Structure 1
Amino acid sequence: MQQTLVWKPWHNPGVENLRLHINEHGIHASSHLMQSLRGHSMVASYVLDCDPQWRFRRLWLKVDNLGQRRLELRRDIRGQWFHNGEPRPDLAQCQQVMLSDSPFTHTPPLQRCALETGQSSQLQVAYVDLLTLRVEARRKRYQHLHQDGHSTLYRSELEGLPSRELAMDKHALLVRASDQFLRLSARELKLNTWV
């Protein structure tokens, strides 16, 4: 499956355009975003890779905000984390990455949890602040609130931030996050197989 998705922040100017490729080898997402965050204009690009079971493997991130900065996070098959090549034992309990201002990073944990109505799951995430590029372990909790034919509603709680309600489509891709993001479009890309 290949998709292109576009989100906009709820209140601030900006846009995120993400290409998602899923096959038997894993999940590959590449994104470009522009936002105004806490009074600062920022442009960022990232590539996020997961294995076929949506386990985080690698994040490459470049941010331009008064100069370019980069970061790479990697988690090996033994669960050891590396930040720009250096071990990060403080992230050992983390299972996923969460970017401060990107709606896509809700998808891998929700795909992994596969929650039914009323169920909840708590996990540790490596939280990356897009403005400062600070990486720290934080507790994250999702609760499955309601499901209808077209979307599923979750409560999302991240340590240190207010809780939010997330409306997700059948692929656990964000449609709307209360007071945060709104999806503008989602388009599935198909190969033309006629000759």
Structure 2
Amino acid sequence: MKRARWSQEDGTGIEHLVMNVSAKGIVIESAVVGESDAQTFGLVYRIECDARWQVTRLALKLAGGAALDLHRDEHNNTWRDAAGTPLDALSGCIDVDLTATPFTNTLPIRRLALARGERRVIRVAYVRVPELAVSAAEQAYTCIEPGRRYRYEGLDTGFTAEITVDADGLVLDYPGLFKRIV
């Protein structure tokens, strides 16, 4: 079991995460108290992955508010909501990206296992918090130093950042956004 804690760089939020890795897969549970665009929120989330770091489930709940439960069928790479309704807009997405946490960068970093200088474009299920609005987004990851530094690019937004990670792929520093404190 691995634990991590991050603070928002502006000091308005904190996250506590627990990650369990086994031969059967990976389960991540976390609690975030944060702020986005001057809107405060409390969020708990759970991400389940298969042993290859491919997301199979994402469940989120806002304190006193909305919830979201998404499932990905590993065989045909389709997403469904809790009611079983297909989410065609997320077709082709394997990873998820939650705006409230640096953790979701770990998913493609671990799954892709990039070599130095290698760049991969991916499509992710992008979740804006606290709105819990879901859409597909194009992103790219480039390995600068294997197991240590990666360049993230939001291809839809033009945002880029150089992310430093630990040996488990957990973010240590996401400049301007998050800093690992434990």
The CA distance in 2 between the partners of 1:146 and 1:93, in whole Å, is: 27
Query: 2:172, 2:137 → 1: CA distance?
Result: 24
Displacement of 1:84 in angstroms is 3.0
State the Cα distance separating 1:83 from its structure 2 match. 2.3
Equivalence for 1:28:
27
Letter in 2 for 1:181: F
Q: Which runs of 5+ in 1 are unaligned?
A: 186-195
Runs of 4+ in 1 over 4 A off after TM superposition: none
Q: Which residue of 2 aligns with 1:182?
A: 179
1 CA distance for matches of 2:112 and 2:144? 14
Q: How many percent of aligned residue pairs carry the same amino acid?
A: 28
The aligned counterpart of 2:153 is 157
Equivalence for 1:100? 99
Deviation at residue 101 of structure 1 after TM alignment: 1.6
Corresponding residue SS for 1:90: helix
> What's the offset of the Cα at 1:4?
1.0
Aligned residues: 179
Q: Secondary structure, in 3 states, of the residue corresponding to 2:94?
A: strand
Q: For 1:58-97, what aligned pairs fall within 5 Å after superposition?
A: 58-64=57-63, 67-77=64-74, 78-85=76-83, 86-97=85-96
Q: Which runs of 5+ in 2 are unaligned?
A: none
Aligned CA-pair RMSD: 1.2
How far apart, CA to CA, are the structure 1 residues paired with 2:145 and 2:79? 34
Superposition TM-score, scaled by structure 2 size: 0.94
CA-CA distance at 1:161 after TM superposition = 5.1
Normalization by structure 1: what TM-score? Answer: 0.88
Q: Select the structure of larger CA radius of gyration.
A: 1
SS in 2 for 1:54: coil
